[in-house]
Amino acid sequence: MKQIFTNMYAFDDKTISRKDIFVKDGVIVGEFEKDKDTQVIDCENLTLLPAFTDLHVHFRDPGFTYKEDLESGSKAALKGGYTSVLLMGNTNPPVSSPEVYEYIKKRAKDLDMIDIEQVYTITENLDGKTLAHLDSLPETVKFLSDDGRGVNDDNLMYEAILKAQKLGVKLALHEEVSKVSSKDYEIAEDAMTLRDCYYAYKLNSPIHFCHVSTKGSMTAIKYFKDLGAPITCEVTPHHLYFSDKEREEMKVNPPIRKKKDKDFLIEMIKEGYVDAISTDHAPHSKEEKEKGAPGFIGIETSFSTCYEVLVKSGTISLNQLVKIMSTNPSKILGLNKGKLEEGYEADFVLVDLDEEYTYREEEIKSKSKNSLMIGKKLPARIKKVYKKGWLKYEDN
């Protein structure tokens, strides 16, 4: 299949262009002569970006499919401009066995909607004690994570890092000292982040820090990055959008922080210390949210939210936003995506940067409706999403 994407403004992490993009069999190639079989795609003067990659998502499958499943989650991802996600392992049963892992991978392949990578739990069934299940780790696993809780045992974390190095996989860490978080969640996050930054530095082991939310944690990450530690980190759209006055009303883990924390995260994005924007898309039923279940859906509105907070405000350029929503997370996940260069997969999102829209509950693709953005007017509506040149989503 040969395609020419034309009549658009194209941005990746470095370039801005009005040139046509040539695609052959789902991969960007150099210019070729158009023939009768070439598909010409008129992008109608929209903005074309590399499709987004989310390093932190909950699709609740298996075990909690009344909240979300792989199909509904994939539809929500496409609506948000995402063609690749990394799923967390706190399902039921947890992703601690080859059987559960292979079920998810096969189901994702059969759906053929987006690329789904699946973490394996650090400790068996998230028990915080056992690493023996890692001896039967499937070969295609890229990340280990106990997301939803931190690994509180210092020695076990040390052993898990050595195990991950031996297996050739990375760790994605939720940082929270459990016995402290009920008293002071800021210190609970900061203390464990400091520990694991030090471990990463001394053991020269790659660690990815999930949903960083405090000035203290981000300061530790900045310090150890400057020392050369092989660490990466993500922040969420809701920790960039909300702060002080909304803190007590919004149940999420980690919580919405103070304005000083939000402002510091934004400053670290500006300075290049934040590697990725990740949504922590966390579907819940209405009844569960009323009872205090932590987390919100966010994958459908992530780009609009970040475009408003970071680009329209003049804090960073659109190129820089592409870098932390597409280029960097694709690289971290080992994908051949995230740039508009020859040899990269033709995963594109077309956006109308000038169109404002109101996010309405009846338009949500996720099974769950627990969004912080319902009723808000947002900029930059996503119009179409292509995966390997195939149209996967169109705004209607």
Dihedral over Cα of 257, 262, 263, 269: its sign: positive
Q: Note whether 74 and 41 are within 8 A (CB).
A: no
Q: For residues 270 and 315, what is the distance between their CA atoms, to the nearest angstrom?
A: 7
Taking CA atoms, 14 is separated from 125, 317, 350, in Å, by 42, 10, 18
- Phi/psi class of residue 335: alpha, beta or left (left: φ > 0; alpha: ψ in -120 to 50)? beta
pLDDT at 130 over 70: yes
Taking CA atoms, 22 is separated from 214, 319, 327, 352, in Å, by 43, 21, 19, 21
Q: What are residue 279's phi and psi, to 5 degrees?
A: -85, -25
Q: For residues 271 and 38, what is the distance between their CA atoms, to the nearest angstrom?
A: 43
Query: What residues have CB less than 8 Å from 93, skipping those under 6 apart?
Result: 62, 63, 100, 125
Q: How far is CA 92 from the centre of its chain?
A: 22
pLDDT at 120 over 80: yes
Q: Which residues of 271-296 are buried (b: 16+ CB within 10 A; e: fewer)?
A: eebbbbbbbbbbbbbeebbeeebbbb
Q: Is 12 a catalytic residue?
A: no
Domains (range + CATH), the chain: 50-339 (3.20.20.140)
Note the pTM of the prediction, 2 decimals: 0.97
What is the per-residue DSSP string for 70-128?
Answer: HHHHHHHHHHTTEEEEEE-S-SSS-S-SHHHHHHHHHHHHHHTSSEEEE-B-SSGGG-S
Q: Which residues of 50-76 are buried (b: 16+ CB within 10 A; e: fewer)?
A: bbbbbbbbbbbbbebbebbbbbbbbbb
Which of 61, 261, 280, 347 does the annotation list as catalytic? 280
At residue 18's C-alpha, the angle toward residues 13 and 23, to 5°, is: 75
- Phi/psi class of residue 338: alpha, beta or left (left: φ > 0; alpha: ψ in -120 to 50)? left
The tokens for 372 are: 């912080």
Confidence of residue 249 (pLDDT cuts 50, 70, 90): low
The model's pLDDT over 30-80, given as tens digits with 9 standing for 90+, comes to 999 999 999 999 999 999 999 999 999 999 999 999 999 999 999 999 999
The model's pLDDT over 370-380, given as tens digits with 9 standing for 90+, comes to 999 999 999 99
pLDDT for 396: 83
pLDDT top residue among 251 and 231: 231
Q: For residues 237 and 249, what is the distance between their CA atoms, to the nearest angstrom?
A: 17
| Nearest by Cα to 224 from 188, 200, 189 | 200
Q: Note whether 62 and 92 are within 8 A (CB).
A: yes
Q: Where are the alpha helices (DSSP H) in the chain?
A: 70-79, 98-111, 154-167, 178-181, 185-203, 215-226, 237-241, 259-271, 286-290, 302-306, 318-322, 328-332
The model's pLDDT over 70-116, given as tens digits with 9 standing for 90+, comes to 999 999 999 999 999 999 999 999 999 999 999 999 999 999 999 99
Q: Note whether 207 and 231 are within 8 A (CB).
A: yes
DSSP state of 8: S
Which range, of 19-23, 65-69, 205-209, 248-252, averages the lowest pLDDT? 248-252
Cis peptide bond N-terminal to 379, omega within 30: no
Q: For residues 333 and 87, what is the distance between their CA atoms, to the nearest angstrom?
A: 12
The model's pLDDT over 177-187, given as tens digits with 9 standing for 90+, comes to 999 999 999 99
Q: For residues 356 and 379, what is the distance between their CA atoms, to the nearest angstrom?
A: 4
pLDDT at 248 over 70: no
Average pLDDT (366-370) is 97
- Phi/psi class of residue 267: alpha, beta or left (left: φ > 0; alpha: ψ in -120 to 50)? alpha
